[in-house]
Amino acid sequence: MPALTTSSDGFLLHGEPFRIISGAMHYFRIHPDQWADRLRKARLMGLNTVETYLPWNLHEPEPGTLVLDGFLDLPRWLRLAQEEGLHVLLRPGPFICAEWDDGGLPAWLVADHDIPLRTSDPRFTAAFDRYLEQLLPPLRPHFAANGGPVIAVQVENEYGAYGDDTAYLKHVEQALRSRGVEELLFTCDQANAEHLGTGSLPGTLATVTFGSRVEENLAALRTHQPEGPLMCAEFWIGWFDHWGGPHHTRSATDAAADLDRLLNAGASVNIYMFHGGTNFGFTNGANHKHAYEPTITSYDYDAALTESGDPGPKYHAFREVIARHAPVPDEPAPSKGPKLPLTDVDLDRRAPLLPYVRGLAGAVRSEDPSTMNELGVHTGYVLYRTTVPASGDGLLHFAGGVGDRAQIFVDGASVGVLERERHDETLPVRVPHAGAVLEVLVENMGGVNYGPRIGAPKGLLGPVSFQGDALHGWECRAVPLDDLDAVPFGPSDAATDAVPAFHRGTFDVDTPADTFLALPGWTKGQAWINGFHLGRYWNRGPQRTLYVPGPILRPGPNELVLLELHATTGTRAQLTDTPDLGPEND
């Protein structure tokens, strides 16, 4: 019998009435050395449960592999949660959305456009089954049936907003059950009749997602499910940001009032997010409804706990609300953590990107440019290179556009940028002579994480022509970013810093602590400290600083590397004690 069961109007844990007061935090968005701290702060706010998605794409980066270490050491995170006295809700997908690259679906799977995603097509279900065969055995000791903290597991994720393949939902449910998951299963959908109708399963608890209109949304759930617990599985207290958009915030007073309404109604809740964390590296997703909109590096979400783990206004407001409905630890609320003092970094070493990549072996040659998917490149950049037989002024046309952002160079000189979000396909250029070298540096800005465009191809998406004549004979090279020690740095020359280049500098640290990387005068690129990939920066905003977790720093010398794609007005960066995610927009 599962530890968590349902009654006519609530939950029972080991047969006793129990209300889930949970908060979302994604282990894969938090440095592992900070997991224990974040879990302790969850308990101190009054939470009795924490919730996390599982990113299939990271746990199985290639077919048949399983990664469960470092940021992905889920068994360790579960042990730490149990040591803190917290229960756990697991949401393994297959699809997670989460503003995560490709919604958590593996790139090797979505690259096969013949496979209909999130359906009962046996090619899709077989891939998920194989993943569960590997994933569940090391997790099984952490389920409540075996004395662990996991009390419930989600079936898929907001499927009612995507499809109506009930056979598929049943398959996911049985895939979990047949592999030893005895705990309570639940589905999660937006609180309307259509989504609940197509996203729910008979015999499986239905839950809903919303951020306001508490009574109305709980009533919609009760209409769909006349008996059983009322639960908001995602109570949205903030929101995520896109590059070029506003920084979303929500007042603590407003969010706390709605949390109070939820708890007054006797409902259970999972606060989304209790602690958002960071889209480190190339992990951010994107939305694409009317236009392509990539998500920023920060996943602060205006959560109760900030991106750097400090209690924000919502933390204290929620703690007061929870104390009116459930026990809150008789311990002081946590204070803000230490921050590194203001530190300037002089990036005095430099390596131009294009000459470095041109000299690398392993180019793929093809008549027409290959997409990133066809090249097996899941993230980052690809450099395409060919020659133009004609000279003069004309239109450079990219049939199908680019995915997602392309910088175009003729004989090494920048001639323009094309972007998927603007539906760009054509660029007027001047080719100085026949045989000029055309290079196109394409950046994957993040896989779409919601809706029918998951798995949309990246790179050059069709033939390229100049003055109406197709260009053939392409060299396609992935830009290697895993080993920055191989980059041939030399002295910096500010006069030539208007081309894509790596920049390197060092700085000293006395006592490692959290900090924030500010890049005034820099345009767009990637940042690493001590080889740890912080993520993407862009002066388009709203985000103006990148979070630097204290555990990646070390006493003494530390190294900062930037890949700047455009231009910089100087060679300095700064580590500051204050984050800047952009002007607030309630």
Active site residues: 158, 234
Q: Is 127:64 a contact under the CB 8 Å cutoff?
A: no
Torsions phi, psi of 499, nearest 5?
Answer: -120, 160
- E runs forming strands in 467-565: 469-470, 474-478, 490-491, 501-509, 515-518, 524-529, 532-538, 545-548, 556-564
Q: Is 166:202 a contact under the CB 8 Å cutoff?
A: no
Q: How far apart are CA 565 and CA 258, in angstroms?
A: 44
Q: How far apart are CA 405 and CA 421, in angstroms?
A: 8
β-partners of residue 248 are 585
Q: How far apart are CA 536 and CA 268, in angstroms?
A: 37
The number of beta carbons lying within 10 Å of the beta carbon of residue 333 is: 13
Going by C-alpha positions, the residue among 238, 186, 182, 180 that lies closest to residue 207 is 186
Rounded to 10 deg, the angle between the 122-139 and 166-177 helix axes is: 30
- Sign of the C-alpha dihedral computed for residues 245, 96, 515 and 248 taken in this order: positive
Q: Give the 3-state secondary structure of residue 17.
A: strand
| Chain centroid offset of residue 226 CA | 36
Q: How far apart are CA 192 and CA 571, in angstroms?
A: 53
Q: Is 141:172 a contact under the CB 8 Å cutoff?
A: no
Q: How far apart are CA 144 and CA 150, in angstroms?
A: 5
Rounded to 10 deg, the angle between the 122-139 and 74-83 helix axes is: 50
* Cα 450 to Cα 100, 115, 124, 153, 173, distances in angstroms: 9, 17, 17, 21, 21
Q: How far apart are CA 72 and CA 571, in angstroms?
A: 35
| Chain centroid offset of residue 191 CA | 24
Q: How far apart are CA 109 and CA 101, in angstroms?
A: 13
Residue with tokens 């009116």: 324
Q: Give the 3-state secondary structure of residue 315.
A: helix
In angstroms, the first-to-last Cα distance of the chain is 45
Q: Which two tokens stand for residue 34?
A: 């900070």
Q: How far apart are CA 289 and CA 286, in angstroms?
A: 10
Q: Give the 3-state secondary structure of residue 362.
A: coil
Q: Give the 3-state secondary structure of residue 250.
A: coil
Dihedral of the CA atoms 55, 60, 62, 66 (nearest 10)? 150
